[in-house]
Structure 1
Amino acid sequence: MKPIVGKLHCASSQTVLVVRKRPHVVNGGGFVVMDCSAQSIVFSVEGCGVLGKKGELILREGDGEALLLMDRKGGMVEALGIYKKWKGYSLDYKGSRKLVFSLREANSCLVKNNAIRISTRSRGRDFKISGYFPDKCCSIVDSKGNEVAQVGEMKEVEGLMESKDLYHVVVKPGMDQAFVFGVIAILDYIHGESTSC
């Protein structure tokens, strides 16, 4: 499978990662993604509590290097439109942006199929969200119907205690983990969880 953000974030085998939410009072919210086996930080997400800007999120590598900037453009266009739209940009060492994906959610009750849809810059690499993120029971599904990542409650992972601030994400082989957690960061914000203001 071709990487969406970068090949460094694609594993050759299925990977289980644990997400730990940060309270808003600690570092302004967001969450940390850890490797179950190595207990090391793989990614962190800063929400608007850290950034001070509503509708803006940053996905960082474990070492703190910025990978993705996700933002939502609001205003009159969004208020009148039938979709809310987020865009995810990769950041290079100079700080310039390159569009990687866009995510849209229904903004109107007039939309018959209100599934959240994700489009990438690669043709034929579109995805949708199946299930309900706040219940930690959802999946990212590709355009062929294949589940590429699954979000689940913590009680399903052995050896780790159950907590409302912990959940796990299973990422299928070859899938870009940075892309998956960029999408999860937006879902977290949309549903008013740890990344929102």
Structure 2
Amino acid sequence: MIPLVSKLYCSSSEVVFVVRTRPQVINGGGFVVTDCDQKVVFSVDGCGVLGKEDELILRDGKREALLLLRGKGGIFEALSFHKMWRAFKCDYQGSKKVVFSLKRPKSCLPVKHDVGIKINTKPKVSTKDWDFEISGYFPGKKCSIIDSQGNVVAQIGTNKKAGEKSSKNIYYVSIKPGIDQAFVVGVIAILDNIYGESTSC
């Protein structure tokens, strides 16, 4: 079990969630994550709701804030070869604690697969200089989160069945046992924003 946000979000069995994106004109964009009973488990508010670029909020099914996701901008980003995002968890005293950070190399060239996107967690869960990485291509909804030993811990896909119409607004995420689901959805929210999808302005 790896409870990065809370052990409440670590299941002893694999779970599959449905992600439904909201257009910018409806509730300011973002997306909702539902379980097999269509109950909302998580939601993400993008900058259409918050009015701030590179800032997102991950909420639970009761709309309580779990994580503040913030992209680092300004001079740091201009001088860096990477785009950095951090996920903060607020405690009951209001102080913010970094749960994980995601680093993506900046590139002028369009790419068809995610290269070099690394995730570090606090506390660390591996002895490498990174704990997880992204494999595949998020805009195509064919990507995975892989741990430092090469194990797939979460997979994003369309899961299209025969005769079923595909929709760019609906996709699926399967999360392995013991992996913090809130962490996975937080990573998806950042990828969604990086690629200018439902959470971006």
TM exceeding 0.5: yes
Mapped partners of 2:184, 2:115: distance in 1: 20
Quote how far apart the aligned CAs of 1:95 are. Answer: 3.0
When normalised by structure 1's length, the TM-score is 0.92
Q: Secondary structure at the match of 1:188?
A: helix
Mapped partners of 1:44, 1:2: distance in 2: 21
Once the two structures are superposed, what CA deviation does each residue of 1:146-170 show, in whole Å capped at 9, x if it has no partner? 00000001415x8976311000000
Mapped partners of 2:88, 2:155: distance in 1: 23
Q: State how many pairs are aligned.
A: 193
Equivalent residue letter for 1:18:
V
- Runs (5+) with no aligned partner, structure 1: none
Quote how far apart the aligned CAs of 1:108 are. Answer: 4.4
RMSD: 2.0
Mapped partners of 1:161, 1:98: distance in 2: 42
Is the CA contact 2:23–2:29 (under 8 Å) kept in the aligned structure 1?
yes
Is the CA contact 1:20–1:165 (under 8 Å) kept in the aligned structure 2?
yes
Q: Secondary structure at the match of 1:174?
A: coil
Mapped partners of 1:194, 1:16: distance in 2: 21
When normalised by structure 2's length, the TM-score is 0.90
Cα 1:7/1:160, change in 2 over 3 Å: farther
In the TM superposition, what are the counterparts of 1:75-90 in structure 2 within 5 Å?
A: 75-90=74-89
- Runs (5+) with no aligned partner, structure 2: 109-113
Q: Does 1:2 align with 2:7?
A: no
Equivalent residue letter for 2:81:
I
Is the CA contact 2:115–2:135 (under 8 Å) kept in the aligned structure 1?
no
1:34 corresponds to: 34
Q: Secondary structure at the match of 2:153?
A: strand
Identity of aligned residues (%): 61
Once the two structures are superposed, what CA deviation does each residue of 1:57-77 show, in whole Å capped at 9, x if it has no partner? 000000000000000111122
Is the CA contact 1:90–1:97 (under 8 Å) kept in the aligned structure 2?
yes
2:57 corresponds to: 58
Once the two structures are superposed, what CA deviation does each residue of 1:67-103 show, in whole Å capped at 9, x if it has no partner? 0000011112211111110000112234321110000
Mapped partners of 2:77, 2:158: distance in 1: 33
Equivalent residue letter for 2:26:
V
Cα 1:160/1:182, change in 2 over 3 Å: farther
